[in-house]
Structure 1
Amino acid sequence: MCVAVDGAPRSARLDLLPLRAGHAGEMARVLSDPALYAFTGGRPETAGELRARYERVLAGSPDPAVSWLNWMLLLRDEGCLTGYVQATISPGAAGPEAEIAWVVGAPWQGRGLAREAARALTGWLDARGVRTIVAHIHPDHHASASVARACGLTPTGHWHDGERRWQRDVPEGIPETA
């Protein structure tokens, strides 16, 4: 993983840009394929709906102990947004815990971008002392399971809303390497 000058995650092919409400128009196109919602539910949102949601997210968590981090994936060679990664960081028993998620638009899937972006995100979290990283993945979503595995997460026996919890813990006193 590389880190950009402004401290945002960066990878070999991707710049992770902090979320802005102005991303809504382009992201509405990126996220427009209904197949993206097969495992998570929902439907594609309009640019206006995304803008309103992004503005709510940018206002921050109502819980001051919780941080919401959201980055758009800019594929440098093509100069376009291709998806996003996000992390919700909260206090955990062993130290900061992050729940992460990733989405890559249908036209860019199958190129390893989700894996690359998620690894950049987890490396960024590691460098900031996050001790536990979790993701919730539908049991039939094999591509997301592969991304989680590439980030060092393993499936647990815990389920939430039909999704399995995947988790990686960094033992106290042992630094994580990216």
Structure 2
Amino acid sequence: MTRVSLTPLTVADADEMVDVLSGDDLYAFIGGSAPTLDGLRALYTRQVVGRSPDGQAEWRNWIIRRVADGQAVGHVQATITERGRRAEIACVVGVGWQRRGYATEATQTMIALLFARGVDRIVAHVHPGNAASAAVAVRTGLTPTDRFDDGERLWERKRG
């Protein structure tokens, strides 16, 4: 049974997502702090364009919503490069909705969408101390590499 759906990001989602992204514990491994409503609206305004300013990367962002009630619980995103062949992915689930499998289900759905559109390689950056994100990576078929970027281990999955 599918418990979450992915809906394309809109600027209006900021009103609901500001609360979802409000827990300070959420930023222990990813850095930063909880966004303000104005800051989140500005970020979403840039993201919904769907491309980096130089046009080299395609951006795909989705809100994770529970199917039962439409409640937003987090977001997933993909930065697609190398002419559509490589995607760097990320998933954030609000503190109040963690440990329920939503991140795994949403990430599996996103990976399926990316592979269906022709992406060949998925990459995720996982902080070595973030056991929850590593568990999601394992459950979604990513494997750790020996490469690090800015202190985070790169995990990878190839289509096929």
- TM interval, shorter chain, is over 0.9
- Cα RMSD of the aligned pairs, angstroms, is 1.4
TM-score for both structures, normalised by structure 2? 0.94
Aligned match of 2:155: 166
Deviations 1:61-106 (A, max 9, x none): 12324210000011121321000000011116xx700000000001
CA distance in 1: counterparts of 2:92 and 2:114, whole angstroms: 18
TM-score for both structures, normalised by structure 1? 0.85
CA distance in 2: counterparts of 1:168 and 1:74, whole angstroms: 25
CA distance in 2: counterparts of 1:16 and 1:168, whole angstroms: 21
Greater Rg by CA? 1
CA distance in 2: counterparts of 1:58 and 1:118, whole angstroms: 19
Aligned match of 2:75: 84
Percent sequence identity over aligned pairs: 48
Match of 1:100 among 72, 89, 105: 89
After TM superposition, list the pairs within 5 Å mapping 1:32-51 onto structure 2. Answer: 32-51=22-41
Deviation at 1:162, TM superposition (A): 1.0
CA distance in 2: counterparts of 1:69 and 1:127, whole angstroms: 14
Deviations 1:24-54 (A, max 9, x none): 1110000000000000110000111100011
Aligned match of 2:3: 13
Deviation at 1:120, TM superposition (A): 0.4
Matched, 1:57 2:47: yes
SS at match of 2:47: helix
For structure 1, the 5+ residue unaligned runs are: 1-10, 171-175
Deviation at 1:127, TM superposition (A): 1.1
